[in-house]
Structure 1
Amino acid sequence: MKRLVIFDLDGTLLNTIDDLGAATNHALEKAGFSSHPLAAYPAMVGNGVKKLLERALPSGMDTDEEVERLRVFFREYYDEHCADHTKPYPGIPQLLDTLQAMGVKLAVASNKYRDAVRALIDRFFPSIEWVAVEGQKEGVPVKPDPSIVFDILSQSPTPKAEVLYVGDSGVDMETARRACVDSVGVTWGFRPMTELKAYHADHIINTPEAILDIVSAQ
C-alpha cells in the first residue's frame, strides 16, 4: 500500500490553463509583444514560469533580461487573477477526501512559484491536511530535478516503495523516475497519453478514482 501520494498541481489537481494563459498574454502585451491563443498554452506550461515565458516570447527575444521583465508583469497579474477561471478537475476533491480518510499522507510538488501554489491549495482544498505543499523556490532546480520530492520526503519521511507521484506530463514522470518512486500519469491534464507513455509512466489512468486501486495494491 502507498502511504504518501505526491500530486503535481497544474493539469493534475487543478485546471489552471486559462489563468496561466491570461497572465502570460497580459505580460506579453504589457511588454509590447503579441499574445497567443489560450489553446496554445498547454504545450508551453509544465517547467515553471520562467520557461513558460521563454516559450511565449518571439524567437530570439527570450533573453534573461526580457524574461525577467515579463515575469514581473506575470506575477502582478497572476497574484490577483490566479483563480478567475481555475477549478479542480471533476472527482479530485472527492479523491483527496477519500485518501485522507484512508490515512494516506498527501503532498503537492509544483513548478509554479510557491506563493501561488499555496494560495491555490488553500483556496480550493481547505479541508485537506497536507504534509507538504511545495513550489518553485529560488536556488532550487525545478522538476524534473527530483529535489522537490526529496524536500517533501524530508518533511514527511516515507519509504520510497510506499510513495506515489501523480502528474500529467513527461516532466512529472521523469521527476518520479529520478526520485525512484512509482509514477501515475493522468490523461485529463495538459499533455497527451503518448507523452506519458514515452516517459515510461508506471501507471496511466483516465479518472481520479482509479488512483485508489493503485494506492491500495499490496
Structure 2
Amino acid sequence: MTPISSRPSPAAPFDIVGFDLDGTLLDTSGDLAAAVNHALASVGRPALSVEAVRPMIGGGARAMLAQGMAATGGCDAATLDRLHRLLLDHYEAHIADLTRPFPGMIAALDTLAARGARIAVVTNKLEALARKLLDALGLTARFACIIGGDTMGPGNAKPSPKPIYEMLARCGGGTAAFVGDSLFDIRAGQAAGLPTIACAFGFLTQPVGELGADAVIDGYAELVPTLERFASPSR
C-alpha cells in the first residue's frame, strides 16, 4: 500500500480558476478608501469611512471616485478627471499599506496549484496597479496571467466577457470557473460560459444572493469543495 503521505494529489476540479482581485483575493478597502479620501480632501470634501467606500469598489478607480464625489457633494467631469489622477498617484504610492489577503486565500491557492490548476487574475483595476500590488505582496508568481481593466482596451473590462476569454487563451484553454464578489464578475463569467462563485465576504453592493452566481462561499475554506461540486463526474 502506498503511504498516505506519498499519494499524489487528486486532479484539480478545473484546469483554470480565475479570480477577481479587490474584494475577492485581497481586502484592499483600507488603501482604496485612503486614496479616495486623499482626492476628496483636495477639494474640501469630507472623508468617507472604509465601510462607505467598500461598496463603491469593483468598477475601477474612476467609477469608485465618481461615487465618492457624488456622495460628498456632486460630481462634474472636469473635477473627476483631475481628482482621478490624484487618487491614482496616492494609491500607487501606498498600494499595500493596509491591503492583506483574505483569510484562507493563500491555503486555497496552494491546494489548487498542488492539484495542477492554473490560477489567474481578471480585475477591473488597471493592470499596472494590479501587478504592482501583487508584487508588493509577493503573490505575482502564483498567477498564470494577470488581466486588468485596461488590458483589453477601452470598453472591454468586466462585465464584458472579453477579459475572461483572454484569460482562457493565455492559460492554454481547458475547463474553467470564475470567482468574484461583484455583478461585474458574475456577469462576465457567465457571459463567457463559466460557472461562477460569489464571495459573501467581498465588497458587495447588494445581497450576495442577488448576484446570480452559481454558488456562494462565506470563506476560502469552502472554495475547493465548491469547485469540486461543479466539476464533471468524469474528471
1:127 deviates by 7.0
Tell me the residue number matched to 1:43.
55
- Whole-Å separation in 2 of the counterparts to 1:176 and 1:196: 16
User: Does the CA-based 8 Å contact 2:38-2:90 persist in structure 1?
Assistant: yes
Asked if residue 20 in structure 1 is aligned to residue 32 in structure 2, the reply is yes
1:105 to 118, 124, 128: 118
In the alignment, structure 1 residue 83 sits paired with structure 2 residue 104 = no
Matches within 5 A, 1:194-205: 195-205=207-217
Q: What is residue 186 of structure 2 aligned with on the other side?
A: 173
Which residue is equivalent to 1:142?
157
Provide the alpha-carbon RMSD of the alignment.
1.9
For 2:203, the equivalent position in structure 1 comes to: 190
Match of 2:108 in 1: 95
Q: Find the residue that maps to 2:224 and give its secondary structure.
A: helix
Give the aligned residue type for 1:106. Answer: I
Alignment partner of 1:11 is 2:26: no
When residues 152 and 28 of structure 1 are mapped into structure 2, their CA distance, relative to the original with a 3 A threshold, is same
Letter matched to residue 177 of structure 1: Q
1:33 to 42, 45, 49: 45
Give the conservation status (yes or no) of the 8 Å contact 1:43–1:190.
yes
> Equivalent residue of 1:190, what SS?
coil
Aligned equivalent of 2:133: 120
Q: Compute the TM-score of the two structures, normalised by the length of structure 1.
A: 0.91
Residues of 2 paired with 1:151 and 1:130: CA distance? 14
Q: Distance in 2 between matches of 1:120 and 1:206?
A: 24
Residue 146 of structure 1 and its aligned partner are, at CA, apart by: 1.4
1:156 aligned to 171, 182, 190, which one? 171
Q: Cα deviations across residues 143-179 of structure 1 (Å, max 9, x unaligned)?
A: 11112111212212324xx111001122211111111
Higher strand fraction (1 or 2):
1
1:71 is the counterpart of 2:87 = no
- What is the CA distance between 1:205 and its match in structure 2? 1.0
Q: Which runs of at least 4 in structure 1 moved beyond 4 Å after TM superposition?
A: none
On the 8 A contact 1:96/1:128 being kept in 2, the answer is: no
Amino acid at match of 2:82: R
Bigger mean CA deviation after superposition, 171-180 or 44-53: 171-180
Identity within the alignment, %: 30
**Alpha-carbon distance in 2 for matches of 1:11, 1:80:** 20
State the distance in 2 between where 1:105 and 1:54 align.
35
Structure 1: state its 5+ residue gaps.
Answer: none
Q: TM-score, normalised by structure 2?
A: 0.85
Q: Quick check: 2:122–2:164 contact (8 Å CA) kept in 1?
A: yes
- The answer for the alignment partner of 2:7 in structure 1 is none
Residues in 1 aligned to 2:29 and 2:140: alpha-carbon distance in whole angstroms: 24
- In structure 1, the partner of 2:227 is 215
- The structure with the largest alpha-carbon Rg is 2
How many residue pairs get aligned? The number is: 215
Question: Cα offset for 1:64?
Answer: 2.6
